Amino acid sequence: MFNWFRNKAEDYFTPHQKNVIVAAIKQAEKQTSGEVRVFIESKCSYVNAIDRAKELFEKLDMHKTEERNAVIVYVALKHRQLAIFGDAGIYEKVGQKFWDEQLKQMLQHFNREDFVEGIATVVKEIGEALHQHFPYQKNDVNELPDDIVFGK
């Protein structure tokens, strides 16, 4: 059960649930040079969640990946907002329809209050798209941490 009365976003998830999401990130990045980050906070400080995702993308230096193939999955739990923002390299390959489908899939899980599975499933789908367009190279370096980033 999800406790909506917690103050910090990190407290919404059990250690096991956090591990499920991190495992999905690691799996997604295993066969690609792309990078995926998950940012979760309680409230979105913007009217449009995509604007917040873009801001966080920059703050987390995700725009500095060599192939411009990083993706952020953004969730504001109490405000019930989400967004997915992909850098120019991956966005040009998959187009807006792909991102819309991923948001739709995540919303289906969230409507059933299956937040962890919704995030993990979408992260894996993003990993498949990254693998297709940016396959893993021998000299690939993990450019960004795989942990979940929690805001307030």
Q: Are 27 and 124 in contact (CB under 8 A)?
A: yes
The answer to whether residue 68 sits within a structural domain is: yes
Q: How much is the pLDDT for 11?
A: 85
The answer to whether residue 78 sits within a structural domain is: yes
Q: How much is the pLDDT for 6?
A: 55
The pLDDT tens digits of the residues spanning 54-86 come to 999 999 999 999 999 999 999 999 898 999 999
Q: Give the strand order in the sheet containing 81-86.
A: 81-86, 70-76, 35-41, 148-150
The answer to whether residue 1 sits within a structural domain is: no
CATH number at residue 55: 3.10.310.50
Q: How much is the pLDDT for 1?
A: 43
Q: Tell the burial category of 61 from Cβ atoms under 10 Å away from its Cβ (0-12, 13-18, 19+).
A: exposed
The structural domain count of the chain equals: 1
- R_g over Cα of the chain: 14
What pTM, to 2 d.p., does this model score? 0.93
The answer to whether residue 2 sits within a structural domain is: no
Give the range of the structural domain holding residue 72, as residue numbers without chain letter. Answer: 9-135+142-150
The pLDDT tens digits of the residues spanning 25-59 come to 999 999 999 999 999 999 998 889 999 999 999 99
The pLDDT tens digits of the residues spanning 91-138 come to 999 999 999 999 999 999 999 999 999 999 999 999 999 999 999 988
